[in-house]
Structure 1
Amino acid sequence: MPAQAGRWGRFSEHQARQLQRQVQAKEERIVELEMENAVLHLRLAQCRGMTGEAGSAAAGLCPRCLEQDPPRRSTPPAAPQLHRRVQVGVQKLKQDIKALRASSLAAFRACWEHLQDGLSAVEAAVQGAQLCHQALLAWQSKVGQLERSLQEADARYQLEKQKRRVLHNRLVELKGNIRVHCRIRPLLPFDKEFGDPASQDSSVPAGVVHAIDDETVLVKCAQPAHPLINKTYNFERVYGPEESQQVVFGDVCPLLTSLIDGYNVCIMAYGQTGCGKSYTMLGPHSKEERIPPWGPHSDLGIMPRAAAELFRLIAENPSRRLQVDLSIVEVYNNNIFDLLAKARGMAASGCRREALTTKDARREVPLLTREPVHSAEDFVALAARSLRLRAELATLVHARSSRSHLIITATLTRGPAAGGSPADQQAERPPLEGRPASGSRGGASCGRAPAGSPGAQQPKEQVHAKLQLVDLAGSECAGVSGVTGSALRETSFINRSLAALADVLGALSERRGHIPYRNSQLTHFLQDVLGGDAKLLVMLCVSPCRKHVAETLRCLGFGARARQVQRGQASGGSPAPRKPR
């Protein structure tokens, strides 16, 4: 408003100066006209004098001369007309001056009124500015109070966050560091093709495996010339044939919170071939070459859902700056093959890896390819590209029987730039001891990867936690699956590795001094998961068919032994004993 008042004042002064210049110009014009009038009066007097002299001369002439040349009648002088014109001009000028003075006075009064209005507006604006300043001071004080309250709330939030982490870990431990869930697949059309009586005869109950409740499985089977089977098994969670993929993942999801908190997590699918392990872990396989290749979203398995949840949790707390690296291997015929190296176009013989045990009793796989992923889509796309290279074979039991154990490992790391303050790092460090140290990164070749490459060794990175998704190959009976030749050899390796896994869990449950991890590349690769401090979830997948009841009982017995494992101090072919929890 002071600026507006200044503009009004400058406008009034400018208009007043213009009016003064106009008045001065009119006055100068009046002076010029008066001088011109005086000149005209002078010329009129001269004309009159000349006219008098001419009259005197004419009076002295003789009559004869006058008769011969009578005197011409003089024309009336123009001086009176000119005088009248001058008077009219002067009067008009006086009227113009009078009108100009009236308009100037009116303009001056209008400017004065505008100036008074501007001054009033400036005063009102100054008063409003003072009120706004007072309000601003009050709001600044309130903002300061809110900032202090926000700092206090943030401090309480960090404290509650640490308490929540501890309580969540205790809850997971109360449920068991090794948790066993059981999922019963529904009867499928191909069960009829293999002559299962439960699927053909309506008088026979549909299936021999039933979910009594959320924690109990009943196996009831009566066959001619066989003893009656009527056994119940209890697990942490039992899913009936009608349970959806979303319900299954709902019980897996809390483990990803433990993963973000810094605990290693492993989810393992175990069971007979054709019982739904790959469906549970990956979803239904589609022949179309698209990403994801496992059918509609509602049928997605644990792996793609876990990838989406993992990156959602990372995005919720970007201050951690966690990075995700992916490695994918298959254990085929008791050999470890790097599927990511295969996906890069290398020969299968050049992608073989071997699990080693370090001096601190930790397992690592040198030269294993790890590729960074930045979203769930990248995670799923990379996994899909590698899974196309997995060994598969059609058998009498399953048209796409997996002939290898698939292990997908997502490693969460925190680089030097993402460490934050020492206090923050200490707050984020999980309370468990014996966490795996940073492993070496391997390139696509069997030699050492060059520095700066995606597979080069990164000694400064800090491993935050690891997520392992394991889709085991299914145990099978050669007489039922009908395999021969090389496929029979694959079946032998599969069954032996699964037997070695059962031996390891049995030794852990009995607290033996020696744990036979090295009896199989599978158990050696999973050594940190089975005997370490990871949160392990075993998903038992069983078939309800009567003809598979023997394999079903074997699978449920495996799960019952796994529930009895209380992991503590143990050693198994390692140079140093493990630290107790």
Structure 2
Amino acid sequence: QAEAARLDSQQAEFESRLQELQAEVASAQSRALAAEADHAAAEARLSRTASATLTSPSGSSVAQVAELTARVEDLEGELQRFRSLEEAARGEASQHRVGLQEFRSAIHVLARKHGIGTHGEGVQELLAPVEAELDRLKVGDAEKDAGHKAMEERMQKHQEEIATLRAEHAKAQDQLTRLGFERQELETRSSAHALKLETRLQDLELEHAQAVANLQGDAELYQRKMEAAEARAQEAQPAIERLRAHIRALEEQFAEEQKLRKKYHNQIQDMKGAIRVFCRFRPMIQREAGDGVALTRADAFTAQLQRPSPHNDVRPFAFDAVFDGDSTQEEVFADCRDLVQSAVDGYNVTIFAYGQTGAGKTHTMYGNAQQPGLAPRSIDALFQVIRREEKGGGKKFKVKTYMIEVYKQDILDLLVDKPPPKDKKAGLEVKKDIGRGMMYVDGVTEKFVTSPQELMAALMEGEKKRHVTATKMNSASSRSHLLLSIIVECMVKDTDQVLYGKITLCDLAGSERPKKSEVTGDALKEAIEINKSLSALGDVIEALTKGSKNVPYRNHKLTMLMQDSLGGSSKTLMFVNCSPAAGNFEETQMSLKWASRARQVTNDVKRNADTREVARLKQVIAMMSQAQNTEAAQDDRQADAPDNLGDIDMKMAMTMTMRAK
């Protein structure tokens, strides 16, 4: 087996290494493809950048510079021509003005020479054209001065435009130079990046080739190892099969030993009269999906409860059997089947379920159509035992049943045909049959049954009348304690004996915290009453474990009904049902501690057997006692009356027995 494990380990290691190498090859290929894509993207970016930033801007810049240069040259030429024309015009005007002035001076000289006044008509006629021309020249000079001024302004404007064009030319030249530098830098960076990508691609190709070579070598090596391992596995296969068969045999032997151990342990507990306690916890449900698991099964007799963080310590709890969420209803009933036989043999048997609400008590006790619980399976097993015992012809059986619920402070009959009137008290009273050691309910409806079908019909009839309410913790929360009692009377012809056995199946209502169940109104009152009754039951168990002389059975009707089951003459089996969720840690811990205390209680188990005559007399006395009792009696008198009547029963039975002998 060790060799097979080693071979499996080597094969798993080879497969893991093969997967790693394949992953490395795939990674190298992806890196090579990524490098090629990066190289192509870089070349594309370089091409777009060169095309967008160099070709178009440089062409426009050169054209702009040429245009600016041509405009500057045109303006300078025009300015030069204008200055030449202006100078020529000024020269001609100056010569003409000088000639006119000389002509006027000559006229004045001639006039003075000949004694002619300058204001004479002749002189004025000669000077008039000259003066007109001089005036015209003055006007022309003024116009020329205005034109010259306008020309100066145009020249100033052209000079400013030339300065602007030169600045733009310098700016365009700077931009062209900068773009050239940028182009050169981009070309350098692109070349370096392309070189780097090419080098990286070569490295990746080399790594890929090396990885492929290593992979092939490792694959061949592991292939040889795997073939050798398979050969060794084939050689070791017979030994492995023998070991597996031996392990299966040991497991079967261990399972049988566990069954025998549990069987003998239960027999010893029955001989001691100790209450047997089975722990069962259900699987996690949908509303607990995000919660942790606090309760686990360590072995067939131990449950482990883990405290939540920051403690995280584990506390074991020992029971007579432990069933987890994977246990079936059939497996659970297999450890309870012997109690059915005990009831047929004349013993009182009680099976009850205790635990938090929503922990699975009703599922354990009653189940459903697909997964029947203890009650339906006990009914089938009971009639199987009766049929087997009756085949010999030496025994005759009578079976009757009653079903009640303890709702708040009242005991309600679930099999009564007609409910009592509203103005009449519906509750029943609990009394004790001292002679048989059994508690009974005075006035309860008892139905005789002859088959499992009739008994199941009575069970279903009673279940329909039970009080049930939906809460946050349970969609069908039981609001009462349900008790199904099956009384078996066996007449043995050979010994002339009458055996009395009783099976009580009790589904207790679940303890609950109103804050969690979020009940209000009547449901809250029901929860308070349920917790009170369970507290009274805990007080009884506490008193029994401490050996107290006064056990507070009378504190509640539930404890009075279970008096013969706890500290009485009954064989008792208790189921503690729990939730495994960490969110219910406190409730689960309380239930487990409660069950551990109950496990310390010891009953005085007795067999109920009388002669036929004594049994007949007891029935007569019981009928007489029942007729004498009335509902108006006080509680104390009702509690004491059965004891006194029981003493009378015993004395009369002993007297009749002595007379018969």
TM-score bracket, normalised by the shorter chain, equals 0.5 to 0.7
Instruction: Find the aligned partners of 2:528 and 2:284 in 1 and give their Cα distance.
Output: 27
- Gap regions ≥5 residues in structure 1: 1-166, 199-206, 284-293, 426-461
- Give secondary structure in 2 for the equivalent of 1:564: coil
Question: Could you tell me which amino acid in structure 2 is paired with residue 257 of structure 1?
Answer: Q
- Gap regions ≥5 residues in structure 2: 1-263, 606-635, 648-661
For 1:300, the equivalent position in structure 2 comes to 372
How far is 1:185 from its partner? Answer: 0.5
Q: Work out whether residues 379 and 455 of structure 2, in 8 Å CA contact, stay in contact via their aligned partners in 1.
A: yes
RMSD after superposition: 2.7
- Give secondary structure in 1 for the equivalent of 2:303: strand
- Give secondary structure in 2 for the equivalent of 1:491: helix
Instruction: Find the aligned partners of 1:320 and 1:277 in 2 and give their Cα distance.
Output: 35
Higher helix share: 2
2:282 paired with 1:185? yes
How far is 1:311 from its partner? Answer: 0.2
Structure 1 residues 240-292: Cα deviation after superposition (integer angstroms, max 9, x where no partner) = 11000000000000111111111110000110010000000000xxxxxxxxx
Structure 1 residues 102-122: Cα deviation after superposition (integer angstroms, max 9, x where no partner) = xxxxxxxxxxxxxxxxxxxxx
2:327 paired with 1:243? yes
- Report the TM-score, using the length of structure 2 for normalisation: 0.49
Show the 5 A alignment for 1:255-334.
255-283=339-367, 294-296=368-370, 299-318=371-390, 319-334=394-409
Instruction: Find the aligned partners of 1:494 and 1:277 in 2 and give their Cα distance.
Output: 15
Instruction: Find the aligned partners of 2:265 and 2:574 in 1 and give their Cα distance.
Output: 19
How far is 1:191 from its partner? Answer: 2.7
Q: Work out whether residues 345 and 499 of structure 2, in 8 Å CA contact, stay in contact via their aligned partners in 1.
A: no
Q: Work out whether residues 277 and 471 of structure 1, in 8 Å CA contact, stay in contact via their aligned partners in 2.
A: yes
Q: Name the count of aligned residue pairs.
A: 345
Instruction: Find the aligned partners of 1:485 and 1:274 in 2 and give their Cα distance.
Output: 20
How far is 1:567 from its partner? Answer: 3.1
Question: Could you tell me which amino acid in structure 2 is paired with residue 237 of structure 1?
Answer: A
Instruction: Find the aligned partners of 1:359 and 1:184 in 2 and give their Cα distance.
Output: 37
Instruction: Find the aligned partners of 1:376 and 1:488 in 2 and give their Cα distance.
Output: 37
How far is 1:539 from its partner? Answer: 0.6
Instruction: Find the aligned partners of 2:388 and 2:569 in 1 and give their Cα distance.
Output: 26
Shift of the 547–170 alpha-carbon distance from structure 1 to 2, 3 Å rule, reads: closer
Question: Could you tell me which amino acid in structure 2 is paired with residue 380 of structure 1?
Answer: M
2:302 to 187, 194, 216: 216
For 1:399, the equivalent position in structure 2 comes to 475
Instruction: Find the aligned partners of 1:347 and 1:559 in 2 and give their Cα distance.
Output: 40
Question: Could you tell me which amino acid in structure 2 is paired with residue 512 of structure 1?
Answer: S
For 2:430, the equivalent position in structure 1 comes to 355
Q: Work out whether residues 411 and 463 of structure 1, in 8 Å CA contact, stay in contact via their aligned partners in 2.
A: no
Structure 1 residues 82-140: Cα deviation after superposition (integer angstroms, max 9, x where no partner) = xxxxxxxxxxxxxxxxxxxxxxxxxxxxxxxxxxxxxxxxxxxxxxxxxxxxxxxxxxx
Show the 5 A alignment for 1:93-492.
171=268, 173-174=270-271, 176-192=273-289, 196-198=290-292, 207-223=293-309, 227-283=311-367, 294-296=368-370, 299-318=371-390, 319-341=394-416, 343-344=417-418, 346=420, 351-357=426-432, 363-414=439-490, 418-421=491-494, 423-425=495-497, 464-492=500-528
Question: Could you tell me which amino acid in structure 2 is paired with residue 260 of structure 1?
Answer: V
Q: Work out whether residues 350 and 506 of structure 2, in 8 Å CA contact, stay in contact via their aligned partners in 1.
A: yes
Shift of the 330–506 alpha-carbon distance from structure 1 to 2, 3 Å rule, reads: same
Question: Could you tell me which amino acid in structure 1 is paired with residue 329 of structure 2?
Answer: Q
How far is 1:508 from its partner? Answer: 1.0
2:598 to 544, 547, 562: 562
Shift of the 381–568 alpha-carbon distance from structure 1 to 2, 3 Å rule, reads: closer
Instruction: Find the aligned partners of 2:312 and 2:276 in 1 and give their Cα distance.
Output: 29
How far is 1:334 from its partner? Answer: 2.0
Instruction: Find the aligned partners of 2:597 and 2:329 in 1 and give their Cα distance.
Output: 26
Q: Work out whether residues 272 and 541 of structure 1, in 8 Å CA contact, stay in contact via their aligned partners in 2.
A: yes
How far is 1:375 from its partner? Answer: 1.0
Q: Which runs of 4+ in 1 moved over 6 A?
A: 572-579
How far is 1:565 from its partner? Answer: 1.1
1:522 to 549, 558, 561: 558
How far is 1:169 from its partner? Answer: 9.6
Instruction: Find the aligned partners of 1:347 and 1:528 in 2 and give their Cα distance.
Output: 32
Shift of the 238–424 alpha-carbon distance from structure 1 to 2, 3 Å rule, reads: same
2:587 paired with 1:501? no
Question: Could you tell me which amino acid in structure 2 is paired with residue 197 of structure 1?
Answer: D
For 1:23, the equivalent position in structure 2 comes to none
How far is 1:380 from its partner? Answer: 1.0
Instruction: Find the aligned partners of 2:496 and 2:266 in 1 and give their Cα distance.
Output: 19
How far is 1:529 from its partner? Answer: 1.5
- Report the TM-score, using the length of structure 1 for normalisation: 0.56
Q: Work out whether residues 272 and 602 of structure 2, in 8 Å CA contact, stay in contact via their aligned partners in 1.
A: no
Identity of aligned residues (%): 34
How far is 1:362 from its partner? Answer: 5.6
Show the 5 A alignment for 1:36-51.
none
Instruction: Find the aligned partners of 2:334 and 2:530 in 1 and give their Cα distance.
Output: 30
Instruction: Find the aligned partners of 2:526 and 2:419 in 1 and give their Cα distance.
Output: 24
How far is 1:212 from its partner? Answer: 0.3
For 2:574, the equivalent position in structure 1 comes to 538
Q: Which has the larger radius of gyration?
A: 2
How far is 1:485 from its partner? Answer: 1.5
- Give secondary structure in 2 for the equivalent of 1:556: helix
Instruction: Find the aligned partners of 2:281 and 2:337 in 1 and give their Cα distance.
Output: 20
